[in-house]
Amino acid sequence: MSEGLNIVVPIKQVPETTEVQFDEETGRLIREGVAAIINPFDEYAIEEALSIKEKLGGVVKAITMGPPWAADALRDAIAMGADEGWLATDRAFAGADTWATSLTLARCIERMGGYDLVICGLKTTDGDTGQTGPEMAEHLDIPHVCYVNEITEIGDGRVVLKRNMDEGIETLEASLPLLITVGKDINQPRLATLRGRLKAKKAEIKEITNNDLKMNPKEIGLDGSFTRVVKLFEPETHEAGEVVEGTPDELAEAILAKLQECKVI
Amino acid sequence: MGEVPVKITDACTGCGVCVDVCPFGAIDTVNGKAVINEACRACGQCVDVCPVGAIEMSEAEAVDLSDYRGVMMYAEQRGGRVHPVSYELLGKAQELAAALSEPVYAVIVGSGVGAGAEELVNRGADKVFLYDDPALAEFRDDPYTDLLAQCCRDEKPSIFLIGATSLGRSLGPRVSAKLHTGLTADCTYLDIDPETRLLRQTRPAYGGNIMATIVTPNSRPQMATVRYKMFTEAAKVDNPKGSVVEKPIDLSNVRDRVKVLGFDEAKEQVSISEADLIVSGGLGMGDPEGFGLIGELAETLGAAVGASRPTVDEGWIDYRHQVGLSGRTVRPQVYMACGISGAVQHQAGMKTSDVIIAVNKDPEAPIFKISSLGVVGDLYEVIPRLIEKIKEHR
Ligand SMILES: Cc1cc2nc3c(=O)[nH]c(=O)nc-3n(C[C@H](O)[C@H](O)[C@H](O)COP(=O)(O)OP(=O)(O)OC[C@H]3O[C@@H](n4cnc5c(N)ncnc54)[C@H](O)[C@@H]3O)c2cc1C
Ligand SMILES: Nc1ncnc2c1ncn2[C@@H]1O[C@H](COP(=O)(O)O)[C@@H](O)[C@H]1O
């Protein structure tokens, strides 16, 4: 694999705060007026792509589907070291759930030239599903591995990697092309350099609309989404029990009494 | 991907107009006739330009929703041991099925998992679909996806539930993408809308600040991954009437592209998800040594050790101990929070515990709002005395 790897990193721009506002009617996030950042998990995906490129050569392409201003996230990725930024933006893509998002992204990736490896974040801090990656892999008809925390070998069309499952760490072998999702335990993302920022400022962002993709309108955006948000509400609060103060000894006594009441000692 | 829905009839003259217009290069001319290849995306442009009307596109078959009946759940297992989340799903599936007057199905995939299938019958499943083959011993996304998708196509359940474990959250999206249906992640509450008979899927959204209820109106099955420790396990029933249905397996028909080379089981003896007693430490401990004291109390009580997220981020303790929105959900008899403020994201993982005891210096700490017993004090003063008292008590 002398020409190196063609790596695609799908990233998403998310609101910076977790104090979100939403439209009661449509159940969609109001993004206007909230500072936007790259989804934190996606920075680990970019870092992993860059470090593979440093080892094997190749090209790192960031892609996002979002409003025109999501181009900022792509520039941030380029500032970190990504070679290309691709923006899938079209009114028709709006309101997509993970199904429609992953299908649109898959069609974009197929148009962006070949790909060997797609690296997604574990999940986003707004959508928070972790579904987009594996769904995209199915649409691309390539295998996927979630929660990768280490790539131990990569080259010659083959990868050995470890993933973090609930019960322990699994070691897997796969051939390329492959899609993986990565979390915070895989690396330490680099900061953008000044040179990177200058390059990012001037970089051309390549736009993709549905004029390019020619997807059936029934497959994209809100119309292409199988799920509908029907209600949003505050999480229920719980009734408080008693709150006690006193000397450390009295307090320890109170806890002991509660534990006995619960019959755990 | 499914079959190409575009067909070229005998009327084709081989003029090549469609070949030029196709944006995907999905049409070739073979022996003077146009032929569609697998690059086809069914955009329909060829249909519009064909001068002789020789190209037909079958409308995406409208799914007849009434064909779909039954609440199916996936019984996750490792090494033949059925994951307890599966019994919780089965319990919930029974409730939902009762509301719909539909049957309850389970599906289990693995090697030598017949006993697990029987157990699901004993706990009230009407039918358990069993895919049992030595080649399926280890979980791999590819073959498991293909078999579950096959099972849904054969049995047409209206609802399909999967545990939101690491395994389920990798498998679920893949199955839903294959089946062309919606999937709601990480649900914490499920019920049936009595009017529409749709599954209402409720989950925390936007960092746990808000709850969202989601429906899947126009595709089937309605799929959800469901958080562990949210629902009550299905109990054994008196006269189990269900049966195990062995499904034929054609391995040449399933994909298998990722090989498992090894598995390192996590070292911790006690998994917090299963523990009846949990003692958790937060940033209020001040430094990593705090977990020494928490560990001592836990050992005295026979409890598992939990942690808030920042202590994990700081590297004081392994991620497997993290309780909360981005960690594990726990539902012990007693949850003891020491030096934890009780942010909504932490609460999201522990508030269904039977009894919550909190030790915090700050009388205004939010954790006290959900505690059965709130203790205002310094954990370094209170906990050593508590350990002594427990030992004396014995
Ligand atoms: C998207 C998202 C997901 C998140 N997921 C999780 C999650 O899964 N789990 C999680 O825990 N958090 C999660 N968080 C973080 C969460 O918002 C809080 O920041 C975190 O829970 C706070 O941890 P803490 O209570 O240990 O620390 P702090 O909030 O700093 O609280 C420390 C507490 O200790 C008390 N204290 C200090 N000294 C003592 C002493 N000597 N004795 C007794 N008490 C003392 C203080 O009064 C204070 O209340 C998430 C946040 C976001 C945005
Ligand atoms: N709109 C989007 N554009 C590009 N990538 C996305 C988008 N949404 C999600 N992703 C990718 O999918 C991952 C999981 O997202 P989610 O399913 O929303 O939790 C993210 O970390 C990104 O890598």
Nearest CB partner across the interface for B374, out of A174, A234, A242 = A242
* Mean per-residue pLDDT, B167-191: 97
Domain count for chain A? 1
Per-residue pLDDT for A1 more than 80? no
Nearest CA of chain B to the CA of A199: how many Å? 32
* Mean per-residue pLDDT, B26-37: 87
Pocket of ligand 2 contains residue A125 by CB under 6 Å: no
Residue B17: give its domain's CATH number. 3.30.70.20
Per-residue pLDDT for A27 more than 60? no
Which residue lies with its CA nearest to atom 26 of ligand 1?
B282
- From chain B, the residues in CB contact with A229 under 8 A are 212-214
- From chain A, the residues in CB contact with B374 under 8 A are 240-244
pLDDT in tens, B200-229: 999 988 777 788 999 999 999 999 999 998
pLDDT in tens, B278-288: 999 999 999 99
Nearest to B90 by CA among B70, B67, B61, B120: B120
Domain of B23 in residue numbering reads as 6-57
| Strand pairing category for B77-78 and B81-82 | antiparallel
Domain of A146 in residue numbering reads as 5-219
Gap from CA of A42 to ligand 2 centroid (Å):
8
Max mean pLDDT among A26-40, A102-116, B343-357 falls in: A102-116
Domain count for chain B? 3
Residue A174: give its domain's CATH number. 3.40.50.620
Q: Is residue B149 part of a domain?
A: yes
pLDDT in tens, B50-103: 999 899 876 544 567 889 999 999 999 998 999 999 999 999 999 999 999 999
ipTM for this model? 0.87
Mean pLDDT of chain A: 91
Tell me what pLDDT residue B337 has.
98
| Whether B33 and B106 share a structural domain | no
Residue B376: give its domain's CATH number. 3.40.50.1220
Tell which one of B272, B322, B341 to mutate to probe ligand 1, the residue whose CB is within 8 A of the most ligand atoms: B341
How far is residue A190 from each of residues A4, A43, A58, A226, measured CA to CA in Å?
21, 9, 19, 37
- Tokens in use for B28? 């070739």
Which of A47-56, A148-157, B46-55 is predicted with the least confidence, judged by mean pLDDT?
B46-55
A20 touches chain B (CB under 8 A): yes
Q: Is residue B262 part of a domain?
A: no
**Residue B17 or residue B40, greater confidence:** B17
Between CA B342 and CA B289 the distance in angstroms is 21
Q: Is residue B265 part of a domain?
A: no
Which residue lies with its CA nearest to atom 49 of ligand 1?
B341
Tell me what pLDDT residue B2 has.
38
Tell me what pLDDT residue A99 has.
96
How far is residue B377 from each of residues A137, A244, B98, B215, B298, measured CA to CA in Å?
51, 9, 48, 46, 19
Tell me what pLDDT residue B36 has.
86
| Whether B176 and B110 share a structural domain | yes
Q: Which of A129, A142, A149, A175 to mutate to test the interface with B (most CBs of B within 10 A)?
A: A129
- From chain A, the residues in CB contact with B335 under 8 A are none
Quick check: A167 and B371 CB within 8 A?
Answer: no
Residue B97: give its domain's CATH number. 3.40.50.620
Tell me what pLDDT residue B393 has.
86
| Whether B226 and B284 share a structural domain | no
Among B40, B57, B74, the domain boundary falls at: B57
* Mean per-residue pLDDT, B239-252: 95
Gap from CA of B343 to ligand 1 centroid (Å):
6
Mean pLDDT of chain B: 92
| Whether B211 and B289 share a structural domain | no
- From chain B, the residues in CB contact with A145 under 8 A are 141, 258
Tell me what pLDDT residue B22 has.
79
**Residue B365 or residue A34, greater confidence:** B365
Tell me what pLDDT residue B70 has.
97
A239 three-state secondary structure: coil
Helices (H), A40-125: 40-56, 71-80, 98-111
Nearest to A64 by CA among A164, A143, A136: A136
Distance of CA B309 to the CA centre of its chain: 22
Q: What is the pTM of this model?
A: 0.82
